[in-house]
Amino acid sequence: MTDLSAPTRVRDLLAVGAVVALVANLLVSATYSELPAFPLFAGVTLGALGVAEAVGGTLLRRRIRGEPGTRPVHPLVAARAVVVAKASALAGAIMTGVWAGFLGYVLPRSADISAAAADTVAVSIGLVCALVLVGGALWLEYCCRAPSGPEDPDDPDDPDAEPRLPASG
């Protein structure tokens, strides 16, 4: 089970994307002649979600930091946003792998096969949009971090730490 309090690791997303890309490439290699043409903007929804998460993350970050003119954030709202961000990052990594696997098959054939040339454009758009989703999700997760405070309230190097009287023996 994944620790939801730990930040999403990019290397984990890269590993998922690489495995999915390999599987997708093998499946496309076996079935490409039977697949319909890809719609040009098939992956745009992923990009739109990524942009929405990035914008939402920026707004949420301002509220978490307590900037003037913003309402405080209920902790459950931030926790739910983190769950959405983690799920979106994983979904984006999976779709990045799918699009990369397709691109690995159609790109070398795009000079010889007109269908592959058309699919290369659609798959490239999908790949970019999936990467936007991963980026937006990672940004949203980052924005949900609590503002850092002093690690040790008795830290002598912290100018905001309250002075403490020494214990008498």
**The total number of structural domains that make up the chain:** 1
> Which pTM value belongs to this model?
0.82
61 within 8 A of 145, measured Cβ to Cβ: no
In a domain, 126, yes or no: yes
In a domain, 100, yes or no: yes
* 167 band by pLDDT with thresholds 50, 70 and 90: low
pLDDT at 160 over 80: no
HEC profile of the chain: CCCCCCCCCHHHHHHHHHHHHHHHHHHHHHHHHHCCCCCCCCCHHHHHHHHHHHHHHHHHHHHHCCCCCCCCCCHHHHHHHHHHHHHHHHHHHHHHHHHHHHHHHHHHHCCCCHHHHHHHHHHHHHHHHHHHHHHHHHHHHHHCCCCCCCCCCCCCCCCCCCCCCCCCC
In a domain, 65, yes or no: yes
* 152 band by pLDDT with thresholds 50, 70 and 90: very low
125 within 8 A of 103, measured Cβ to Cβ: no
* 35 band by pLDDT with thresholds 50, 70 and 90: confident
What are 161's two structure tokens?
């730490």
pLDDT at 21: 98
In a domain, 105, yes or no: yes
52: helix, coil or strand? helix
Cα Rg for the chain, rounded, in angstroms? 23
Structural domain including 92 reads 10-35+43-143
In a domain, 158, yes or no: no
**Tokens 């930040």 belong to which residue?**
7
In a domain, 160, yes or no: no
In a domain, 115, yes or no: yes
Q: Which comes out higher in pLDDT, residue 54 or 151?
A: 54
Q: How far, in Å, CA of 78 to CA of 141, rounded? A: 9
In a domain, 22, yes or no: yes
